[in-house]
Each structure stands twice: as C-alpha cells, then as structure tokens.
Amino acid sequence: MTCVHLLLTLVFAVSLGTPVEIQGPRGVPLTKKQFYVENKPFTCLDGSRTIPFDRVNDDYCDCKDGSDEPGTAACPNGSFHCTNAGYRTMFIPSSRINDGICDCCDTTDEYNSGAKCENTCKELGRKEREVLQKMTEITKEGFLLKQHLIEEAKKGHQEKQIKVTDMQENKKQLDEKVEVLRTVKETAEQPEKEAKERHLKAWEEQKAAIRLEKDKAKMAEAFLELDDNADGFVSVSELQSHAELDADADGTLTETEAQGLMGGAEQVDMSTFESVWPNIKDKYHSEVSREEADMSCLVSSEVPFGPHRWLVQLPSEAFYRYVTEKYSCTSYVSSSCSLFPYANPTVLWFTAAQKARDDFEEAEKALREMDDQIRNIEKELSFDFGPDAEFTYLYSQCYELTTGEYIYRLCPFNRVSQKPKYGGSETNLGTWGSWSGPENNKYLLMKYEHGTGCWQGPNRSTTVKLTCGKETVVTSTSEPSRCEYLMEFTTPAVCQEPANTDLSPHDHVEL
Amino acid sequence: EAGLNAVCPRWRLSVLSKDDNGVVLSLGVKNQRLIVSARPFRLDIMQGPEVLLSLNSRGLLAFEHLRLHKDTDKEEVGLWEETFKSHTDTKPNGPTSISLDFSLPGVEHVYGIPEHADDLKLKTTDGGDPYRLYNLDVFQYELYNPMALYGSIPVMLAHNTQRTMGIFWLNAAETWVDISSNTTGKTVFGKMLDFVQGSSENPQTDVRWISESGIIDVFIMLGPKPSDVFSQYASLTGTQSFPPLASLGYHQCRWNYNDQEDVKSVDQGFDQHDIPYDFIWLDIEHADGKRYFTWDPHKFPQPKEMLQGLMDKKRKMVAIVDPHIRVDSGYKIHNEITSKDFYVKNKDGRNYEGWCWPGNSGYPDFTKPEMRAWWASMFAYDQYEGSMENLFTWNDMNEPSVFNGPEVTMHKDALHGKWEHRDIHNIYGLYVQMATAEGQTRRSGGVERPFVLTRAFFAGSQRYGAVWTGDNAAEWDHLKISIPMCLSLGLVGVSFCGADVGGFFKNPSTELLVRWYQTGAYQPFFRAHAHLDTTRREPWLFGPENTALIREVIRQRYALLPYWYQLLYQAHKTGMPVMRPLWVDYPKDTATFTIDDEFLIGRDLLVHPVTEEGSRGVTAYLPGAGEVWYDVHTFQKHNGAQNLYIPVTLSSIPVFQRGGSIIPRKDRVRRSSTCMENDPYTLYVALSPKKFAEGELYIDDGHSFNYDTKKEFIHRSLTFANNALTSNNLCPNCNFLTSSWIEKVLILGASKPSKVLLKMDGKETPVDFEFDTSMSVLTLRKPGMNAGADWTLLLQ
C-alpha cells in the first residue's frame, strides 16, 4: 500500500513539474542548451574531446572542463544550474548535487540523495522582492539626499574658498603690520638695552664697594676682639687663642705658625693688621656668635631682586611696580640692604619698549591665528570627500553606537574610539588613514589606523564599511581579529542612482 | 594501571640452568634466554650467542623508599625539602628516586620518549641535560632541546638492521633519560676504518632512566621486527582509538571565534570559497566566564541553533573543556565537585587551588574512578546544556597547568587521596581525556565513537583520542619540527597526531601558511589554529591564488580520506603507526635511520613536505632497492634507493605512491566528509616492477561502534597479479551495505591491454578504458561494481 501511494505521489509530482520544465540534460542552463543535442555526439565545451551523447550526465567525468556532467557530482569542477522558478536562477558547484543538503530552492540539486527538500522558491522570491523593493526605495531616497549633500558640499566648498581668499588678503595686511611693529619694537628696545647694561655695570660696582666696606668693618671688629689686652696691638699669643687658624690642622696654633700668619712680626697695630687679615679671614671665627645678615643680604638679594632676574624674567608691570614703589627689600631681607633704584628716564624708556613689544606680540599672535584658520580650511578643502564631495557633510561630525559593553564613536576623517559604558577611559581605535575600498570604488571602505597599542599585539585599527541608507548611522561594530575593528556605517553618500527605474521587479524575477 | 591495557599476555618462564651466582631462564621464543646474575646483579637477554640487552650492566640500579624524617638522617640540601623560586616542596616522604641502566649492544639509533621538540633520532646527552619527561605547559617552547613539554610517554625504541626493541619504563613521576653511545663523534669514515681494521668495538648505546618516585616497573619489547614491537607495546597499553571518519577531515580553529555570527560567517566562507571542512572549534572565550560546560550568554545565546546550522551542512563543532574549575559558588560544576569532595587536596588536606584562565580554580581529582564517572555524566545532553550530538570536546591545560604553581604546574606535595601529585603527575592528563571520552561515549548510550583532543598525555593516551603538539609558533622551524614530533609519537602508539597549522603564536607569512597547509594535510590530525592576538587567517584571506593553493591541498586530503580511515583502522587493530619514519618499512636500509624531513603515511605514500622558505627544490630519499615510486600528481615513475631532486613551486607537494600498492580514493570532494559518504571510489593501482600491487578497502558507517559490536563493516583486500585486479572479502562474516561503487580504476605502470573484462556474479562484461602512453597509465572507465562486492577485472 505504502509503495503504491509513494509511486502515485511521485507521478503526480512529475506531472505537475513537466509543464514548466523545459526538457534537456539536467543542470544545463537555457543559454547552453543548444550544445546538448539528444542522440548527437557531445563535444566538451572546451572542445577537448567528443563523446557519445549517452555519456552526458552518466555519472562519470569525461570532459576536463566538467561540461559532460552538468547534472551529476562526477566532475570536480562542474557546475549545476537550478532554474529556481519564482526566485533567482543559480549555479552551484556540482559537488553539492545529491550531498543531502538542499541548495537549490526548487530542490533540483537533491534528486537522488533522500534529502527532504521543500520548494521554497516562491517564498524566497517574495521575500527578495520585498527586500529589493525596500532597497530600491532606500536607494532612491538616499540618492536624492545625496544630491542635496553634493549641492551643499559644492556651496560650502565655494564659500570656504572665497573665505580663504579673503583671509589670504587679510593675512597680507597683517604681515605688513607685523613687520612695521617689529621695527618700532627694535627701535624702542635700543635705549632700554643700553640703560640695562649701564645699570648692570653700576650695580656690579656698587656691590663690590659694599663687599669691601663689609670686609673692612669685619676686620676692625676682629682686631678689637683679638686685642685682648686692648693695647692697640694684636700679639702672637693673642692670635694663638684662635686655634681654628691652625694651618697644619693638628689642633694647635703654635707660636711659629702664628708668627708666620703675622708676617714674622711679634705684634701688629691696626694698620699693619690690614696685611694680616687676608691670611686669616677665611678661617677666622668671631668670638661673638652673631648673624651673618650682611652677607646673606647680599647673597639673597641676588636671587629675587638681582638685576638679572629683573631684566630677564620679571614681566613689565611687576617690574614697573618694583622700580617705582619698592626701593628696598625690607620685606625679604634685613633693612641694611638697600636697593639700587633706576633713574626716572630709564624707567620711561622701559615703558616705551614694553609697549612696542606688546603691540608687536599682539599683531604676531593675530597673524598666527589667521594662519591656523587658513590652514584648517585648506586642510578641509584638500580632503578627498568623494568624486562629488558627497562625504563633506561627515567632516567634523561624530556618530555613536552603544553596544552591551561599550559606546563606539566614529568621527569621520578624524578618529574612531571606544569607551566602556560603565566608566573607564576611552580607547583610540584608529585615526583617519585613507579610503581603502576595492579598486572600482574605493569610497566603500574607510581605514583608521595607529590607534592605541594592544598588549603583545598591533596598534588598534578600524575598517569602516559604508552602505547606502537614508540615515547616517553606525549600525554595527565587531572585532574580527584582535584589535582590528570593523564598523558598519550607513550614509546616503554612497547611494548609487537606481539602475533602471522603469523595469518593474516583477518582470526581472519572472525571467 | 591506567596506562596499561587490561589484557596483557603472560607466559611461564622455565629454568634452563642455574648455579651459585644465577639462573638461566628460557623466554619461550626459540634461542631466547634471560641470564640472571646475582653478584653483581645484572640481567642479560640473549638470543643465541648474542646479547640483545643488558640491565644494570653499569650498576646504576638505585632506589630509595618512602620514610619519615628522623633526627639521625643525613642533612643534605634538597633531601627533605626543596625550593624552586618562591615554591617549597615539603617532600614528606623524603627522597624517593629510582634509577636503572640499560645497555643495547649493536645499537646506534634510539627513538621515542616523547614529547620533545627535537629530532627523530634521540641524541646522546653526555655533557648536557638528559631528556626530561614532566608534563608542563611551556610558554613558547624552544626547539632542538631535551626540555619537557606537555606530554610524556616513557617508551624508547632501539633499532638496527637486525632488530627493533623497546623499553617501556612505566612510571608517571618526573623522569629523566640519559643516553650515551660509544660511537658518538665518530665519523662515517672513522667507523669504516674501524671496520676495515677489524679493531672496532661493537657499537653500543647505553641508557639510564631516573624517576623521582615510584617503583621500577619495566617492560622490554624484543621485536624483532618494528611491527612486532608495535604490537607488543599495543598489547600492554592498547591501540589508537578508532576515531570518527569526520575527525580525519579538516578542522578550523581559532582562539577565538567570537560569537554565533562569527561562526556562521566562517562556515559560509568555506562554502563561498568551495573549501571542505568538518569541524569548527571554540576556544575558552565561548564559555560563560571560563566556566566550562556553559556558554557566554551574550556571544553564544543559542548554541543549539548554531549547532543545528552546522548539522544541516553535515558539519560538527568542538568546544573546549579544561580541567581547571572556577571556584564560584554560583557554578554548578564547582558546587557538585565540592559537595562530592572530588577536588585535589593540598598538603594540608584542604582543596588545592591555583590560578588558571578563570582566575582562582580547583582541580578535580581525575585519578578517582568515581570522579571520572561523575565527570563523564556531565556530558549527557541534559547536563551539558546547549550540547548536541555534533558537539565534541577538546581538553587543554591538562598537564595540569597552574599559572601560579611551580613551573606552571601543580605542587608536587598536593594530594590525590593517599598519593602525592609527584607520583602521578604525568598521568593526570590521560585521566582527564579518559573521563571526557567516556562521557562522550556514554551520552549516546555507547553507540557513537567519541572525539577528544588532548594536550597532555601519557603511555596509553592513544586509547582516548587525538593529540596535538601544543602552542607552537608561526616559524619555519616549527613547521619542520612538527614532522619528528608526530613521528616520535607514532612510534610509541599515538598515531592521531598533528600540529597547529599556521603556528599558534605570531602571524605566519603567506608562504609559510600555504606550506603548513600542504604539510598538515598529510599529517593525521589536520587542524589550523591561531592565538587570540594574531590577525585572522581563514584560508581565503590571502588572495585568490593562495586560496586556490589551500583549497587544492585540503581537497587532496579529502580525496585520500578512505586511505587515512583505513590506516586508522589498522592502527586501531594492530598498533601500526599511521605516520611513520621510513625505517619502519625499510628496517635494513641504514640511509633511512635518521630521516625526519620526510615520512610515510601507512606503507604506501611517501611525503616530503617543503619546509624551507623560498624553496626551489627538495631532495627526497626514495627507499627500496628494486622498487619504484610514482609521483601522485604526474604519475611519473622513479626508482627506489635514490636521492631524488624535485624542483618545486608554491603549488608543489612532493608525494609518491609505492609501486606495488593500491590506494582507494574518493575524488569527488564535497563540503564535508559526511557529504561524501555514498560517493564512489577511484582505485589507484601502482604496479611494482613485477606488475604486482595490493591494498585494502575498509568501509563502515564512519561514526558508530557498530563496526565493533555488530561487525558492521566491509574489509576487502585488493590484489593485482597476473593482469587481474581482484577484490576479496577479508571479513566474510561481516555485514555492512554501502551504496558506494567503483567509478574508476587507474593502473600506473601498466601496458596497453586489448580488452578489459569485469567478472562478477559469473558474468563477464567489457569495460571501456583509455591508455596514456607517455606515463603508462591505464584508466578503466566506470566499471561500476559495488564497493562491497566480489569482482575481478581482467586485462587481456
């Protein structure tokens, strides 16, 4: 019973199939049917040999090009044609015939494998038409948007070019202004420089005089200290009480040693002591412990108030304030340390020079800023924004996509980055490199390179794949290889003009 | 006892003579005697007047025993406690090592004791480190070095033109092998001079084995033929498991295929580029937080859907299951192991914990039979959620790898019941694979054959699946070393061996990748794998020309699957290695003894892979005086016993078929091996100079144990003699039906017949044929008989 039933089903299926199926060897496309003529010798399509027709599709490979077995898996390089009525026709490698896997939606590839395939062509065709329709719509709208983008880009381009030309003109004027101000500045600085040199010299002289004065005072003090008996003479024995003057460092200052220091004399008076003082002043310890304020004033005054500091580093305003208001360094060191003030005309020179400097610097800064602006616009103008500048609108924009873990950010022509959703620092996934699509359309891929380095790996990089869409949006990201990211991005800028709007999709599919 | 097979043949020894100092025992085989001498103690195995092998002839027998530390004991550094870097080994039983020496008179070539990244022929270790056997997870291992690697098989083979013998030192503790030879350093000329002058001492190799603990338990295999040693060793530890046919196909692996989408697109990539493959692999990232037996809920939310997608294309998947278990009270596996008290303990009796991929991890005690039974039960479909019958397993890190342990492994004083880890270290990995394979078998009620890949192994591991050579690198030397590494494993029972195609660490150059595919396609386990940090390297990513080269070699592999399968069956039945050094089949040809840049697949295919960068030619040694070899691509015939220079291009893979052999192929290559199940065979009959050839054909369902339990297989002998090719049944009481048939017969080295007849079922029918005069190839067109039938093809 089952057998009969099966047989009937089979006959039914075949009789249903026959009306639409054009007879001919299995797996041959309509375009090649002419080469396969029943009962006539078949010549392999590469012309390599001729075989009897009963060897076509006899499950043995005779032709090197596989053309004698279009409907069996016998040839390693054969291909099988499925008609797929209701859907797209298709070629599959003949190795997929009767392998138990349904490849053709019309089930014709599995005629002898026992695989239970269902004809899904109608359903696939319907779905494909829907998708095609949608795609066509998107492409259409996208292409319109693209025209806008191109218009805008053109306008923007012109505006920017005009702006650059204007700016170039302004820049010329600025250039001249800077040159004029430079001359003014240099002229104004000449008397200032001279005054400073004079002042420096005078300051050095005064400092030397002060030092000499202090030394003298110290010597006199030392004489009085050493002259224990106050007889107006310093004797050898009086000197011996200062063991620190010991020359051979054995701890005692012998009589001979002391006499040596005194230049062979037994005793010296105040005026002769002047010649002894240089021998002992470096080692001499005063008997009264006292501040060394005098010396330290000299030393410390060199640091915050010394002429070098002033002239070189203090800003003009502060300088002026010190010169006019603070004649002494009382707040910093002992009162004995008075400062050497500038004379009034010198200060005026300084003020004039400073003003010239400020004017010059201001003009120079303006020039630099102008230069930067020009450079930025020129850089933007030099970018390859596509054959019709349709990608211009992406410049200085950023687009984000949030996934389970990260927020991805694409700033076209600039950089790609990744930031953890729940805190953590941003990682650079690459900065703009180049267009890197296939030769026939390089504008389908963007390459961003030299991102943050990977541990034991390369620097991160990202490839951005552009597809046509109405919206400009990042649709997905992945990391196919460690630290090599792939981002999918839709934009109207890559939408192509719909091929043939007159041809309805129906005709196409039916064919 | 896990290393050993249950059935080990035994014979009674008989005393031939004895005196005060010893006895002479008969070994059962004619003329073979064992002389036992008491003072000094030594054993000599004799055949006639010849000493085959002596034990303790150098008096290096030594043993220590377990004991408690007493105050009276000598205090020497390292005797009662050892420190390695920051780790301390408490050695509660004191020093426990054992040692014994073996002398092999007349032997200059010894092999085996894998795993080492070194030449096939073992080197003498005088003045250097001994070969070390201690299963370790070695980061970026060095080549040509006796250092320990992932697995240990303490079996050494000794070979000369007269005899092949083996020594099996059954000990799972850390083991060292020293080799010395009295001919080391002698030049060929020097040896010849010795011979001419008659002054030569007999060449001899001396070997010393040392193990850290355990007992001296040694098996001597006396051969005499190489095949005898293989079967003798197989009688002790069992043979290679018979793998599912699909596992001999191509495996696509990477650390990691990121998610289900990624798996799908790689799968589609193979179809788009018309490249066959059988298995796609998932590394550690697939699991949820490295909790094995689970799936990452974001990346692999629908594992069954993914597996079904693969099954629809008759393809399969492997997911990794490592033996370190994440310590996590929210993890079922951890909780069950804890509640059943199945973890390895540290010296203080608490659960041993160490760092591995998931962070803090426990290590199940696989030496416990109850633990293994429980582990096996975890592979049941209702336990391992998301698993299906086309999901198989990979055991990595089973040395075991412990990131913060001494030498990246477990502390020696950790405890497995009463045994210290030091006693069982080298066999831990075997138990992991054993339990996993058991689980895979059990999930199908014992019907389906398992497939489990392991990195760590020990003597006997061959019974549980495949082995690979671990974390190699994308370097030409690593490609080269894959040959001796797998040859050494094959000699000691592990036939199902392969190396990561392309190299695991680093990025291979395109040339290296192509050459590696060409080499790997002719090695038993054929899997591409790559480190997480490498760039993608699926076969179609290197331009159409290289895609075509890789496609071609993978197709060559698939066409030869019937031969590979038959060789695995033979290995399973007899212990014969699948991938063999030349000397195994040419034991008297001394020129073959050190060759390890070419090899045989079975007896009949000789492969000399190109392993040099920018190579323009290779010199292959074709063995066998009076024999011929046929280039499998051009069918050109070459004489044996010669060094043949073969010019090569990037597409060349020098492979030769032995004259005298018949190899069945399936030349219709499809998407996966399973798709080729019912396809017809082409027989490649390569005639010897005497116009003779023989071969076999083995067919079964490719995946179940029915070949064993129900004798459901076809095993036929194919013989060409007297101008007739005959298929005879080697197993008349077997029953298996195949729809495969013989579509073509190629006879290489034939002369042109006037007529060809097929004799079958008492009828004679003419068969069409073609003859290529230039290469002397006779092609019989579509004889059409069923592959399981009796038939004869007559050439007249």
Asked if the Cβ–Cβ distance from B670 to A95 is below 8 Å, we say yes
More confident position, A211 or B212 = B212
Helix (H, G, I), strand (E, B) or coil at A191: helix
Strand extents, DSSP E, B422-464? 452-454
Each residue's pLDDT tens digit, A9-54 = 333 333 343 344 456 799 999 999 999 999 999 999 999 999 999 9
Query: Which strand (E) or helix (H) includes residue A4?
Result: helix A2-17
CA gap B310, A109 in Å, rounded: 19
Q: Does the structure show a pLDDT above 70 at A314?
A: no
Q: Please compute the mean of the pLDDT values over residues B232-242 and round it to a whole number.
A: 96
CA gap B215, A430 in Å, rounded: 61
B14-237 CATH: 2.60.40.1760
DSSP, res B36: E
Q: Does the structure show a pLDDT above 90 at A188?
A: no
Each residue's pLDDT tens digit, A325-364 = 443 333 333 333 344 555 556 666 677 788 888 889 998 8
Q: Does the structure show a pLDDT above 50 at A311?
A: no
Interface test with B, best of A69, A72, A94, A101 (most B CBs within 10 A): A101
Spans of all domains in chain A: 392-491
Asked if the Cβ–Cβ distance from A481 to B536 is below 8 Å, we say yes
CA gap B367, B357 in Å, rounded: 22
* Partner residue facing A480 (CB), from B536, B669, B671: B536
Distance to chain B for A482, nearest Cα, Å: 5
Query: Which strand (E) or helix (H) includes residue A370?
Result: helix A344-382
Q: What is the pTM of this model?
A: 0.81
Instruction: Read off the pLDDT band of A186 (50, 70, 90).
Output: confident
Structure tokens at B313: 């294309």
Q: What is the mean pLDDT of chain B?
A: 95
Contact A75/A52 with Cβ under 8 angstroms? Answer: no
Q: Please compute the mean of the pLDDT values over residues B517-536 and round it to a whole number.
A: 96
Q: Please compute the mean of the pLDDT values over residues B480-493 and round it to a whole number.
A: 98
- pLDDT of amino acid B187: 56
Chain B hits for A60, CB-CB cut-off 8 Å, are 743-744, 781-782
Chain A hits for B534, CB-CB cut-off 8 Å, are 481-482
Distance to chain A for B531, nearest Cα, Å: 9
- pLDDT of amino acid A237: 81
| Cα of B289 vs its chain's centroid, Å | 32
More confident position, A55 or A206 = A55
Chain B hits for A93, CB-CB cut-off 8 Å, are 274
User: Which of these ranges, B89-93, B174-178, B273-277, B448-452, has the smallest mean pLDDT?
Assistant: B89-93
- pLDDT of amino acid B360: 97
Instruction: Read off the pLDDT band of A234 (50, 70, 90).
Output: confident
Asked if the Cβ–Cβ distance from A74 to B743 is below 8 Å, we say yes
- pLDDT of amino acid B63: 93
- pLDDT of amino acid A506: 45
Cβ–Cβ contact B679 with A under 8 A: yes
User: CA of A94: which chain B residue's CA is closest?
Assistant: B670
Cβ neighbours of B729 (radius 10 Å): 14
Each residue's pLDDT tens digit, B104-118 = 999 999 999 999 999
Asked if the Cβ–Cβ distance from B667 to A76 is below 8 Å, we say yes
Cβ–Cβ contact B480 with A under 8 A: no
Write the ipTM. 0.91
Name residues whose C-beta falls within 8 Å of residue A142's C-beta, 6 or more positions apart in sequence.
A468, A469, A470, A492, A495
Contact B326/B358 with Cβ under 8 angstroms? Answer: yes
CB pairs under 8 A between A and B: 62
- pLDDT of amino acid B411: 97
Q: Please compute the mean of the pLDDT values over residues B460-475 and round it to a whole number.
A: 98
Helix (H, G, I), strand (E, B) or coil at A42: strand
- pLDDT of amino acid B196: 58
- pLDDT of amino acid B472: 97
User: CA of A72: which chain B residue's CA is closest?
Assistant: B668
Instruction: Read off the pLDDT band of A205 (50, 70, 90).
Output: confident
Chain A hits for B676, CB-CB cut-off 8 Å, are 99
Spans of all domains in chain B: 14-237, 250-318+367-402+425-563, 582-657, 680-795
More confident position, B7 or B457 = B457
CA gap A302, A90 in Å, rounded: 93
Q: Please compute the mean of the pLDDT values over residues A258-274 and round it to a whole number.
A: 82
Each residue's pLDDT tens digit, B1-54 = 566 665 666 778 899 999 999 999 998 777 899 999 999 999 999 999 999 999
Instruction: Read off the pLDDT band of B718 (50, 70, 90).
Output: very high
Q: Does the structure show a pLDDT above 60 at B500?
A: yes
Distance to chain A for B45, nearest Cα, Å: 56
Name residues whose C-beta falls within 8 Å of residue A319's C-beta, 6 or more positions apart in sequence.
A310, A350
- pLDDT of amino acid A46: 96
- pLDDT of amino acid B596: 97
* Of B74, B185, B68, B45, nearest in space to B126 by CA: B185
Cis peptide before B224 (omega within 30 of 0): yes
For chain A, the residues whose C-beta falls within 8 A of a C-beta of chain B are 58-60, 73-74, 76, 93, 95-96, 99-101, 113, 404, 454-458, 478-484
- pLDDT of amino acid B357: 96
Sheet containing strand B109-112, edge to edge, reads: B109-112, B155-159, B164-169, B218-221
The CATH number for A392-491, chosen from 3.90.180.10, 2.30.30.100, 2.60.40.10, 2.70.130.10, is 2.70.130.10
Q: Please compute the mean of the pLDDT values over residues B505-532 and round it to a whole number.
A: 97
Cβ–Cβ contact B675 with A under 8 A: yes
* Of B220, B396, B442, nearest in space to B292 by CA: B396
- pLDDT of amino acid A333: 33
The CATH number for B582-657, chosen from 3.75.10.20, 1.10.1200.10, 2.60.40.1180, 3.60.15.10, is 2.60.40.1180
Structure tokens at B374: 């429980």
* Of B91, B77, B99, B136, nearest in space to B414 by CA: B91
* Maximum Cα interatomic distance, chain B, rounded to a whole number of Å: 94
CATH 3.20.20.80 fits B250-318+367-402+425-563, yes or no: yes
Q: Which residues of B are catalytic?
A: 396, 471
CA gap A246, A235 in Å, rounded: 16
Give residue B165's identity as a one-letter amino acid code. M
Query: HEC profile for A254-283?
Result: CHHHHHHHCCCCCEEEHHHHHHHHHHHCCC
Cβ–Cβ contact B506 with A under 8 A: no
% of chain A residues with pLDDT over 70: 80
Each residue's pLDDT tens digit, B557-588 = 999 999 999 999 999 999 999 999 999 999 99
Each residue's pLDDT tens digit, B740-780 = 999 999 999 999 999 999 999 999 999 999 999 999 999 99
CA gap A400, A393 in Å, rounded: 16
Q: Please compute the mean of the pLDDT values over residues B424-431 and round it to a whole number.
A: 98
Cis peptide before B400 (omega within 30 of 0): yes
Cβ–Cβ contact B283 with A under 8 A: no
Domain B680-795 architecture: Sandwich (2.60)
* Partner residue facing B535 (CB), from A73, A404, A484: A484
Q: Please compute the mean of the pLDDT values over residues B152-163 and round it to a whole number.
A: 97
Structure tokens at B781: 């067109």
Residue A403's φ and ψ, nearest 5 degrees, are: -110, -170
* Of A146, A130, A149, A129, nearest in space to A469 by CA: A146
In order, the DSSP letters of B659-711 are TTEEEEE-----SSGGGGTTPPEEEEEE--TTS-EEEEEEE--SSBTHHHHS-
Asked if the Cβ–Cβ distance from B668 to A73 is below 8 Å, we say yes
